[in-house]
Structure 1
Amino acid sequence: MLTQTSQAVQRGAPGRAAMPSPGNTAAFRAALWTNMEKLMDQIYAACVQVQHLQKVLVKKRDPVSHVCFIDEITKDGHLDILFTFWNSVTQILSSQFEKATNSSMFLKQAFEGEYPKLLRLYNDLWKRLQQYSQNLQGTFSNSGNSDFIPELQQTEDDTQDMFITKKDVDPEKTLKDSLQSYEAAYLSKSLSRLFDPINLVFPPGGRNPPSADELDSIIKTIGSEMNVAAVDSDLCWAVSKNIAKTIQLYGVKSEQLLSTQGDASQVIGPLTEGQRRNVAVVNSLHRLHQSVLKVISGQGSLPVAAEQTISSALKIIFSLMGNAVQPLLNSVSDSVEAIIITMHQEDFSGNVSNSGKPDVPCSLYMKELQGFIARVMTDYFRHFECLDFVYDNTEAIAQRAIELFIRNASLLRPLGEGGKMRLAADFAQMELAVAPLCRRVADLGKSYRLLRSFRPLLFQTSEHIANSTSVGDIIPYSVILQFLFTRAPPDLKSPYQRAEWSIARFSQWLDDHPSEKDRVVLIKGALEAYVQSVKARDGKEFAPVYPIMVQLLQKAMSSIQ
């Protein structure tokens, strides 16, 4: 009625679609939705009548022939009154709405642009029909109706909710399918609304990530789309897929801003321009990640599928943040390793000083390590707003640093009593060195326990070391065996000495062979070579530490079988 002119355009011609005048659009749209509500009321009333009729016909029998009325009606055409009526209603809705919207651009825009409102009317209609069906069951089972339909008490109630159980077709889906074209158009426009602010803040040739205000605009758009879609779980899931695409687009645009040149990973001088931009990009991604999480939590009962869809997209953002900082992390880790390995350039062979005071100054490499770590945390990582993200990555560097420190400390040869004292002081200083990289040093877990457990072994006898409860549990057998080589005479060569490798090459081999079995087998080869050398020179006895190492080697071999 709203879209037809009051006068015929031509004799025999169809009515012409009317557009509201520019000043009357709001009133026209209000009238449209008022009429839509009335339409849903009429459909509800008609369905109630037909459902009531079918339930009565199913129960009522001819008093003479006792034939059920519904059987009499359906015996020729197998007509299911309620289901046929419902299909007719949905077909009429689909065809008439299509006809109306094809005739009127205004109607088309109203139904596509305000599709959630249209869907809410449909959902409300369906809920009312379900509620009526349930109430009707209760009414028919009430003895107060027996005067109206006496047969109801004599017939088994086999009329469950027919809108749910009848046939293999989902009646609710049939109802919503009449809106498919509007849903597709709405989702397309929704995606455009989500993409537009992102394309706006990432102009071609731009070099900076969006500002806080620009990001807020994007988040408000995401929140608005989710709020509007909350009227229906299926629509909410469909819109969540659009939001996931939006998050991915933001990630792609941000990734294009990242600097991948050499200066992006330098750790020698102050922050470069490329590094500043990378920090800004990571901070921007972090703010997006946190803001979207906040929007999700504020939605209340968000469908599981929708939440999982958005969460999967956020994982991509988190992964991109990791990729952005990884070159810098690698440079820091490589520098830490380069500093630690310089401990072999210092002399640890000396004895305790005769001055009466323990000569245990902090080693030069340890001072350099502490200064370097403190500087990189101040110069580079303090600019990141995502502290938890930073610590999650730098704690891995701290664990690696402790592992390398223990590895190289166990390889020092020769190691005198004075060297042990200085190395013990370095163990204490190591905790201070890695402290800036983590929330708490004690949170480093296995690495921290390894550092604490190894230090007391420096001053214990070889027999005590071999029988220590921490060996094999906290401290790997291979590390202790390497350490015992430092107490052996020069002819009992360490594995790297036997292979004529540098310390750096041996350390790389250990990285390439994380398996304890591979490491123990290498040490076993060094001990066997020592036995052969003693036999070759007709030696009378082995070094005192050799039988202890063999005993420990046997324990190691049995534990890795």
Structure 2
Amino acid sequence: MHHHVEKFVPCGSPWRSPPQGVDLSGIEVIESELLLISRARLEVENQAKRLLEQGMEIQNPSQVGTALQVFYNLGSLRETIGGVVSGYHGVIRENVSSALDIRGLTQPTSTTRGAPGRAVLPTPGNTAAFRAALWTNLEKLMDQICAACKQMQHLQKVLTKKRDPVTHVCFIDDIIKDGQPDLLYTFWSDVTNTLALEFSKATTGSSFLKQAMEGEYPKLLRLYNDLWRRLQQYSASLQGALGGGSGALDASLDISTAEMDGHDLFTQTKHDYNPEKALKASLQPYEAAYLSKSLSRLFDPINLVFPAGGHAPPSPDELDSIIKTISSELGVASGDPDLTLAVAKNAAKTVQLFCVKSEQLLCTQGEASQVIGPLTDGQRRNVAVVNSLFRLQLAVSKVISGLSSIPPAAQQTLSSSLEGVQVLMTAAVQPLLQSVSDSLEAIIITMHQEDFSGPLSSGDHPDVPCSLYMRELQGFVSRAVADYFQHFQCVDFIYGRSEVIAQRAIRLFLRHASLLRPLGEGGKMRLAADFAQMELTVAPLCRRVSDLGKPYRMLRSFRPLLFQTSELISSSAVVGELIPYSTLLSFLFSRAPAELRSPHQRAEWSIARYSQWLDDHPSERDRLTLIRAALEAYVQSVRSRQGKEFAPIYPIMLQLLQRAASGC
């Protein structure tokens, strides 16, 4: 057919209309010729339209190109293409309106006659059939939109490639002038605007449509995503088919692939216009409504299991219902990354609400920190709350790992909410942990009430008993673990905090052991036994004592120094590297005469006050400054009494202090 058309409609053909302004009326021969020309032109146009429609229908670029050449020769290319675009848009508008027509959706299931309003309302028993018909229509609508877009894409691609063989004008340039948007952009804008307008009109007029599209928004979104995916795939395949062909197709269409690249709306964002966002913009009201209802579904089970005035956290079964709701909401939304992220934010708010409700149950009165007797009712409630938070944390973590396709941003949102759970768990156990730590310190400091000044006792006593304070310390730790810590199900969480208590206890033990004076040979033996017992004392607070790191290594390294000479101690490899200079210098004060007073003795501080000062001044420089002042006071006292020499320990301590100062 196209060979016939090209034969009679060459470029510059007399089939074109006569020039405007030339009046040829009244000339019988010419009038008959004009009539013939007009009829012939109409016939050619009709043939070309049929050829164009057929070519677009079967995606044949040669047929489409031939038809376009006819319209170009007739000078009506722009008007014809405009009509084609408008026609497709009109069909889409009718398709959208028909798909959402409430009468058409209810007609198969409605036998009611009479009032018009009744005929368009699905009865309760027919709601399922109504929704099934709606989704069938919407699926069909997406197919119709996809088919129209494919034909428009094909038309634009051919227009972009096709040139007039005489003038070499590219057809797309003959249609799009003066910076106007391309055909596909215009068509797509009209389609997306029509979707937004018709959807809004339909759901405003029908609560049933509104409820269906809001309640099953993820399903609607999947239809849109599938449409977009198909359009992108077609764009890519069309780019390959028309972008670099050979032979007759190239000769017929005559354009390079490079000239095609800027006209692919569905694989590029052009001029800050995002066609995918434009498509989904029509869904925004339904997404907002869906997310609002989703949040309500997530909050409802929490409000149910945390009744006003309640004093107990949710049971495991009640917690399961919360987790199932979270998992369900995320699972339904998992088909779209943006929706998954939005629902994940709702789920994070749900976790936060759980934390707020749980925090309101916590006992924060004085009984929360008592460690004198068994668990109080308030402490039992705190344990139950922490265990409930722990189960929530485990369950949500399992949900996150179970959704393998969850976007990283959604995963991060949920993980961040679990950090809040951890913070609340820590706050809930902190009063008890702090009280246990304080009690350990109070017991350790009582070592100063015992006498370590005695000499070695007569007879062989290979098993030197540990001190009274150490036995009390062991008893308290065992009771604290049995009465308090073992009720928590979050074993790793509790160990993580009780190990900090154990590290603190070891440091305090070393601190006060180094402050004992006078320290006799018998006292050294008993203190050495206390060092060994200290490892057993803190063992229940950790999985392995070696996990305590540096404090454990300090404990092991300090014990041999009890029996070494002062000279060996000052030259030991562990000094400064493992055991702080200030701790070793404090220990050497125990070997000095009474005139060489310890820093706290010189300042007339109690042991407890000095220990607090050390906590407040962790800097080695500050501690060494206080020790230096004590040594200088000793030098001043010797000079004031006109002493002849210093105690043998003084130069050793002074040298050690100078080494420490050079290292700070």
Q: TM-score, normalised by structure 1?
A: 0.96
After superposition, the C-alpha distances for 1:366-402 in whole angstroms (9 at most, x for unaligned) are 0000000000000001000000000000000000000
- Give the Cα separation in 1 of the matches to 2:423 and 2:561: 41
2:260 is aligned to: 159
1:465 paired residue among 566, 569, 574: 569
**Distance verdict in 2 for CA 1:134–1:348, change over 3 Å:** same
Q: What are structure 1's unaligned runs of at least 5 residues?
A: none
Q: Residue type of the partner of 2:578?
A: I
SS at structure 1 position matched to 2:307: coil
| 1:150 and 2:243 matched | no
**Which residue is equivalent to 1:83?**
185
Whole-angstrom CA distance in 1 between matches of 2:143 and 2:257: 32
2: CA distance, partners of 1:206 / 1:232: 39
In structure 1, the residue matched to 2:559 is: 455
CA distance in 2, matches of 1:124, 1:345: 80
Q: CA deviation at 1:317?
A: 0.8
State the partner residue of 2:102. Answer: 3
- Are 2:524 and 2:563, in contact at CA under 8 Å, matched by a contact in 1? yes
In the alignment, is the contact (CA less than 8 A) between 1:244 and 1:313 conserved in 2? yes
Describe the shift of the 1:266–1:76 C-alpha distance in structure 2 as closer, same or farther (beyond 3 A). Answer: closer
Cα drift, residue 64 of structure 1: 2.1
Match of 1:285 in 2: 389
Letter paired with 1:162: L
Does residue 129 of structure 2 align to residue 53 of structure 1?
A: no
Q: Distance in 2 between matches of 1:430 and 1:552?
A: 28
Within the candidate set 123, 127, 133, 1:31 is matched to 133
Q: How much has 1:150 moved relative to structure 2?
A: 2.1
Deviation at 1:139, TM superposition (A): 1.1
SS at match of 2:122: coil
Check whether the contact 2:443–2:472 (CA below 8 A) recurs between aligned residues: yes
CA distance in 2, matches of 1:366, 1:506: 21
Q: How many residues align?
A: 555
2:412 aligns with 308
Question: Which moved further from structure 2: 187-196 or 355-364?
Answer: 355-364
Q: Does 1:202 align with 2:306?
A: yes
What is the alpha-carbon distance in structure 2 between the residues aligned to residue 474 and residue 385 of structure 1?
36
In 1, Cα distance between equivalents of 2:273 and 2:179: 20
1:247 offset after TM fit, Å?
Answer: 0.5
Letter in 2 for 1:158: E
Alignment deviations for residues 227-280 of structure 1 (CA, whole Å, 9 cap, x no partner): 011111111111111111110000000000000111111001011000000000
Q: Distance in 1 between matches of 2:155 and 2:116?
A: 37
Equivalent-residue separation in structure 2 for 1:123 and 1:152 (angstroms):
33
The separation in 2 between residues aligned to 1:242 and 1:357, in whole angstroms, is 69
Cα pair 1:140 1:152 within 8 Å, conserved: no
Are residues 1:40 and 2:142 paired? yes
CA contact (8 A) 2:386 2:425 kept: yes
Q: Could you say which residue in structure 2 is the equivalent of 1:418?
A: 522
SS of residue matched to 1:189: helix
The match for 1:230 among 320, 334, 339 is 334
Q: Find the counterpart in structure 1 of residue 195 from structure 2.
A: 93
In structure 2, what is the Cα distance between the partners aligned to 1:14 and 1:52? 44
Does the CA contact (< 8 Å) of 1:402 and 1:430 recur in 2?
A: yes
Q: Equivalences for 1:192-341 in 2 at 5 Å?
A: 192-341=296-445
Distance 1:92 1:499 in 2: 87
Distance (Å, rounded) in 1 between the aligned partners of 2:352 and 2:443 = 40
Cross-structure match for 1:363: 467
In 1, distance between residues paired with 2:538 and 2:486?
15
State yes or no: 1:73 paired with 2:175.
Answer: yes
User: What residue identity is the alignment partner of 1:501?
Assistant: W
Residues 341, 408 of structure 1: 8 Å contact kept: yes
Question: Corresponding residue for 1:140?
Answer: 242
Contact 2:333 2:343 in 1 (8 A): yes
2:164 aligned residue: 62
Inter-partner Cα distance in structure 1 for 2:640 and 2:178: 110
Partner of 2:292: 188
CA distance in structure 1 between the partners assigned to 2:274 and 2:640 by the alignment? 89
Measure, in 2, the Cα distance between the counterparts of 1:334 and 1:489: 33
Shift of residue 354, structure 1, vs aligned partner: 1.1
Q: CA deviation at 1:103?
A: 1.1
For the 8 Å contact 2:452–2:524, the answer to whether it is kept is yes
Cα distance in 2, alignment partners of residues 503 and 319 from structure 1: 35
Secondary structure, aligned partner of 2:605: coil
What is the deviation of 1:76? 6.0
How far is 1:31 from its partner?
Answer: 1.1
Residues 470-479 or 157-166, more deviating: 157-166
Taking a change above 3 Å as real, the CA distance of residues 53 and 262 of structure 1, as seen in their structure-2 partners, is same
Q: In the alignment, is residue 107 of structure 1 matched against residue 212 of structure 2?
A: no
Tell me, which stretches of 5 or more residues in structure 2 are unaligned? 1-97
> Any residues of structure 2 matched to 1:419-498 within 5 Å, and which?
419-498=523-602
- Indicate if the aligned counterparts of 1:237 and 1:305 stay in contact, CA closer than 8 A: yes
Give the alignment partner of residue 506 of structure 1, picking from 603, 606, 610. 610
Give the whole-Å Cα distance in 2 for the aligned partners of 1:384 and 1:77.
71
Amino acid corresponding to residue 203 of structure 2 in structure 1: T
Matching residue of 2:501: 397
Give the deviation of 1:167 after TM superposition: 2.5
* Alpha-carbon contact 2:330-2:344 (below 8 Å) kept: yes
**TM-score normalised according to structure 2 size:** 0.82
SS in 2 for 1:486: helix
Distance in structure 2 (CA, Å) of the matches to 1:185 and 1:147 = 54
By how many angstroms is 1:166 displaced? 2.8
AA of the residue aligned to 2:469: Y
Preserved CA contact (<8 Å) 1:60 1:149: no
The CA distance in 2 between the partners of 1:154 and 1:74, in whole Å, is: 17
Shift of residue 16, structure 1, vs aligned partner: 8.5
Runs of 4+ in 1 over 4 A off after TM superposition: 13-17, 151-154
Question: Per-residue deviation at 1:356?
Answer: 2.5
The structural deviation recorded for 1:20 is 1.3
- Identity among equivalent pairs (%): 70
Q: In structure 2, what is the Cα distance between the partners aligned to 1:312 and 1:166?
A: 36
Query: Which has more radius of gyration?
Result: 2
